[in-house]
Structure formats: C-alpha cells, structure tokens
Amino acid sequence: MEHTRVVCKGGHEYPGCMFCDGGLYACSICGTMEGAVPSECPGYIIPLGKVQAIYAGELDYKDGKWIEGACSPASPKYNSQRQVS
C-alpha cells in the first residue's frame, strides 16, 4: 500500500514547523520519516530496529514483504550509491 503523508493541520503560532515550513515527509500509518521511509507502506507502525535498518539502506519493504539488503530510495545511502556509480 502507499504511505499516507502526515498533513499538519496548521493553526500553530510557532514558526518553523517541520511539516509546514520544513516540508518534512512522514507517514502517519507506519510512523516513518524522511530518510527511513520504505518503498511501500506495510500498514502498521514499523519497529524502531527496522526503521534504523531502512535508514541505513539495509532493509526495504516492497511488493508486500520485507527485503533484507535492499535499499529504499528514501535512504540517504541510496543517493550516495548513485553518486558513486
């Protein structure tokens, strides 16, 4: 399934909201944020251990299953790998 982007309801007084002003991408279903968002949403809160692995570029969720060793396009490592090649 696709991720459900967190949309800030706004109405806050403080400047620099990470969603409104920062443009931060976060999923309200699996609880991941930019850099650690897998290719597809598993539909439940992803445990911290998996989130860290996704961020590290060692795990991805795609085609309805977890794929060890796969790098999510959201991972910082994904871009660094592309720059190398």
- Indicate which single residue of 3, 55, 71, 74 sits in contact with Zn ion (rule: CB under 5 A): 3
CA distances from 45 to 11, 12, 16 (A): 27, 26, 26
**Residue among 28, 34, 24 at smallest CA distance from 74:** 34
The answer to the question of residue 27 lying near Zn ion (CB under 5 A) is yes
Q: Which x/- pattern, by CB under 5 A, does the window 32-61 give for Zn ion? A: ---------x--------------------
On the CB side of 12, how many CA atoms lie within 13 Å of its CA?
11
- Indicate which single residue of 5, 7, 17, 62 sits in contact with Zn ion (rule: CB under 5 A): 17
Q: Which is nearer to Zn ion, 27 or 59 (CB)?
A: 27
Q: Are 62 and 70 in contact (CB under 8 A)?
A: yes
Footprint on this chain of Zn ion (rule: CB under 5 A): 3, 8, 17, 19-20, 27, 29-30, 41
